Structure 1
């Protein structure tokens, strides 16, 4: 049975969309779906064209799309826990004309005095849907925020939140089927009705063993209870999605960067791939 708090968080997703677009859900349904409709107050448009994801199954016909987004590049940095995403983002953050959006972990650690991230690791069957509902909301907020530079580099995405972490909870038996069904319904609604642009996915491919060693070294309080088996299962989900391409929808080309190496070598890898990453919308 859904908890009242989870229901509240889920409905905040709809309020978030309405707030960004300055229109009500009912007015969206009555809008002219067969023509381009400008929503000037929110800076969004309802557009009838192919998505920049280049995937025909995820066309943007009738979706909410940020105005002018086709002139900018969006890059997602994906990878397992402790795969080096923060280091990668810090390296590119020194580049001019580029904005970096990290995962909103501070929000996941403090929701009006509560720490749903820690609660989820302690008791995933009880708190998994609470955390993942909030992750879905906060990641959607990241995706929809106005871009302040020609290139946006973003840590993970609403897609990996669903395809990796929700899926892992469900497959491991730590998320009840009803919770998984509710989160899937919300994810499907979001991706059906809102354009979430991406030009390139950079996958920091790291072995679970390396991730576990790094995780133990950095000693984040919530991560102390994460076993190697958890990292192995999330690694396999990433491999199935981004390498084998056998599990879920892939919204953009993937650039794979092996990331088991030490910091100096990883910085060299980032520099070698700089042009590919910063010109992602030309791929």
Structure 2
């Protein structure tokens, strides 16, 4: 069953552009330009794009924050803006730059207030909070006012707040922005566990492609307000020619070795291969002075950069 359906979704903004010292003229900017998107229940969807591509605008239309300029969108069976109150009980939202916690209250009190706002039964609230406390290690700062929490602690609190009412869809806009490595890992592990349960659909926008690789099976790429890729990460690699790298370290330097690139004063060979690296590894078996072999997977950032470049060149 589809929990999100968008057809021809558009959002336009009118801006004033300076033309001279005394003259400004209005210009219409199309932030989202005809997005078609269907998300099934339990999916983990990565929704990415460069700055200004329309990612956050799309999420704001899906959550009822912005009214679309055209097209249709339904989330959990509701039209977001006119039915925003009903929709709010069915979705959770985490924006990296916004907070739904009370700044001067201890974290535990924020959770208790949200229980009353969403009218969550006490037993359900307690059960979900116990699970989040365990997975996100909340106990050490539950009694601390939100304003005194570190960014990583606050983000763990935001994730908990978004899930305490049992949403069907969780929208995440840059949930790991600014976090240290330890906090990022905690958030990723938690979201992986949430996604694997299959009862919550995750829609994630981020500039951190490691989040996408570790969390999402499906990737939608948007550029200039239009969808330019919708499929798996593997399909993205295949479509834009990403290649594996086989890195070989040697004890003794060599001048050349077939089609390899020679680096590190001749002590390192680098091969670029399509698909399996077995043939290259077999060739190296009898190489004297072989110290180590590493197979490096394609870097999704390079793939997406090529996709953006192609989309820009093809844009009208």
TM-score, structure 1 length as denominator?
0.25
Relative contact order, CA 8 A, sep 6+: which one is greater?
A: 1
- Of Structure 1 and Structure 2, which has the larger fraction of its residues in helix? 1
Report the structure number with the largest CA radius of gyration. 2
TM-score by length of 2: 0.23
